[in-house]
Amino acid sequence: MLSQTLATGLEHYRIGPKIKALRQKKKLGLVQMGEYTGLSAAMLSKIERGQLFPTLPTLLRIALVFGVGLEHFFVDDRKRPAVSVIRKADRLRLPDRPGDQDPSYFFESLDFPVTDRKMEAFYAEFQGRQSEPHRHDGTELIYVLSGHLVVNVDGDETVLHEGDAMYFDSGAPHTYSRQGRSSCSAVIVVA
């Protein structure tokens, strides 16, 4: 149990409301967020309502889901730097679907410590099978770094080769799959 002094000090940072705002911005329910973080929906609800303060490892799990650094929860927005460098060694490699034993691609956030982003950028390595159809608000730009990538947007299939780029409305259902046996990687920007 936290002392009243510690609880008052932590309330100042409004960690729970910041987590809730990030979750709602991504249009995730508490159960979905729990699947990504490994935390129960009940615990997440208590954290969002300020009834429970997360430990740093728990807060880091949540931060990784939303592509923000821990400082997002502790630094005043007006004092954050406008420039951020993301080192290759610091990126976290994740499968396209949490817990998937045979992912269709792996991705790494290229901008995870930047808070209140206007876009999201990822490095992706595509495996042999087609991804599940998915959609999200905004637009997407794919730039193929190596290999051949098949992108299906609302039933229309396009094969992209190294150096090719594609822009589309990501509100339409879309999938990705590597064509052939050679490795395939791309940079994906979502706005």
pLDDT at 36 over 80: yes
Task: Convert the pLDDT of each residue in 169-186 to its tens digit.
Answer: 999 999 999 999 999 999
Predicted pLDDT at 160: 98
Could you tell me what percent of the chain has a pLDDT over 90?
A: 50
Please report, for residues 20, 93, 150, 157, 180, the alpha-carbon distance to residue 186 in angstroms, rounded to integers and kept in the order given: 31, 14, 12, 17, 15
Pair of tokens at residue 29: 């329910």
pLDDT at 180: 92
pLDDT in tens, 127-166: 978 999 999 989 999 999 999 999 999 999 999 999 999 9
CB neighbour list of residue 106: distance below 8 Å, 6 or more residues apart = 93, 94, 95, 96, 124, 125, 127
Residues 6+ apart with CB under 8 A from 49: 16
What is the arithmetic mean of pLDDT over 43-47? Answer: 93
| Domains of the chain, start order | 4-79 (1.10.260.40), 88-190 (2.60.120.10)
Note whether 185 and 143 are within 8 A (CB). no
Give per-residue pLDDT as tens, 104-130.
999 998 987 676 678 889 999 999 789
HSE of 38, CA atoms in CB hemisphere, 13 A: 9
User: Does the pLDDT of residue 187 top 90, yes or no?
Assistant: yes
CA distance 149 to 158: 8
Q: What is the mean pLDDT of residues 48-55?
A: 91
157 in Cβ contact with 151 (< 8 Å): yes
Contact 167, 150 (CB under 8 A): no
In which band, very low, low, confident or very high, does the pLDDT at 40 lie, cut at 50, 70 and 90? very high
pLDDT digits (tens, 9 = 90+) for 68-95: 888 888 876 555 556 778 888 888 888 8
Residue 188 has pLDDT above 70, yes or no: yes
